[in-house]
Amino acid sequence: MEARRQCHRVSPLLLVLLAVVITAGRCGAQVPVPARTDGFVYGGQAWAPAWGEAVVVEAFFDPLCPDSRDAWPPLRRAADHFGARRVAVVVHLFPLPYHSSSFIACRSIHAVHKLNASAAYPLLEKFFKYQEGYYNTPTYTKTRAAVVAKIANNLVAPVIGEANLAAYRAGFNDSRSDQAARISFKFGCARGVTGTPYYFVNGIPLVDLDFPLDYDKWVSTLDPLVGKM
Ligand SMILES: *[C@@H]1O[C@H](CO)[C@@H](O)[C@H](O)[C@H]1NC(C)=O
Ligand SMILES: *[C@@H]1O[C@H](CO)[C@@H](O)[C@H](O)[C@H]1NC(C)=O
């Protein structure tokens, strides 16, 4: 049987670390409660439909994870098929520690989202498309400043426009984007996320399905739930 395709092949270490952190009192105790629930709602609206009014699919993605990149198009197609009133898709960013530029990538998407909420998904898709340039090996000899600048010029500028780059850079440097990216990570940890992609449907983790989930699998998983509404 093929192993579940997920960016967590190196995760035994992470699991041990998580177990140690949890049993040792969580390195900072209470996770800060954000003013709004973490996550970007797909489809343009700023909020997910109220509980009980749609099937809610939550996807945890790392912008620099190849399995997340491959997982998004079929989920997006399924979301478009059902429409946001029937299936609400919410993406949570989950920066995996063994992808060295992931936190920067997540922070960048949070900074852009603050400038223009509709730009978060286009930027996530840019990261997916060009992520190979930001993997550990190609960035090994680059400084953090160089990676941040390359993201701004090559990925962010085409999405938000050159004219908004200064505002983006200020937002990226602002501690609020740092905090938002930390919350994304902690939000996933608090719910037991150990790799990406990782999904919850109506709050329940999908663990027994055959991964990766293709379009047909998404439709056959969601159809019966949508039919019961
Ligand atoms: C926000 O981003 C979207 C998607 O990139 C774009 O179509 C729209 O024009 C932007 N809005 C503003 C006010 O810049
Ligand atoms: C962002 O922070 C870096 C490092 O502290 C600094 O060099 C850079 O000038 C800052 N950029 C902006 C736009 O504030």
At 129, which CATH number? 3.40.30.10
| Tokens 């609400």, located at residue | 88
Q: How many domains does the chain have?
A: 1
Residue 213 domain flag: yes
CB-neighbour burial class of residue 122 (10 A; exposed 0-12, middle 13-18, buried 19+): middle
More confident residue, 29 or 185: 185
Distance from the first to the final alpha carbon of the chain: 35
Is the pTM of the predicted complex or chain greater than 0.85? yes
Tell which wins on pLDDT, 228 or 27. 228
Q: What is the pLDDT of residue 47?
A: 65
CB atoms within 10 A of CB 188: 23
Q: With a 6 A CB cut-off, is 159 part of the ligand 1 pocket?
A: yes
On the CB side of 67, CA atoms within 13 Å amount to 20
What ligand is nearest to the CA atom of residue 161? 1
- The answer to the question of residue 92 being in a domain is yes
As to burial, measured by CB atoms within 10 angstroms (0-12 exposed, 13-18 middle, 19+ buried), residue 111 is: buried
C-alpha 42 – ligand 1 centre gap (Å): 15
Interval 131-183: pLDDT, tens:
999 999 999 999 999 999 999 999 999 999 999 999 999 999 999 999 999 99
| Residue 146: other Cβ atoms inside 10 A | 11
Ligand 2 centre to CA of 119 (Å) is 23
Q: Which pLDDT belongs to residue 27?
A: 57
Residue 171 located in a structural domain: yes
Please indicate, yes or no, if residue 199 is contained in any of the structural domains.
yes
**226 within a domain of the structure (yes/no):** no
Q: How far is the CA of 122 from the centre of ligand 1 (A)?
A: 10
Residues with CB under 6 A from ligand 2: 169-170, 173
Does ligand 1 have an atom closer than 6 angstroms to the CB of 116? yes
- What average pLDDT does the chain have? 89
- Which range marks the domain in which residue 89 is found? 2-220
The token duo for 189 is 């940890």
Angle at 224 between CA 222 and CA 225, to 5 degrees: 65
Q: Is 122 in the pocket of ligand 1 (CB under 6 A)?
A: yes
Q: Is residue 225 part of a domain?
A: no
Asked whether residue 136 is domain-assigned, the answer is yes
* Domain membership flag for residue 206: yes
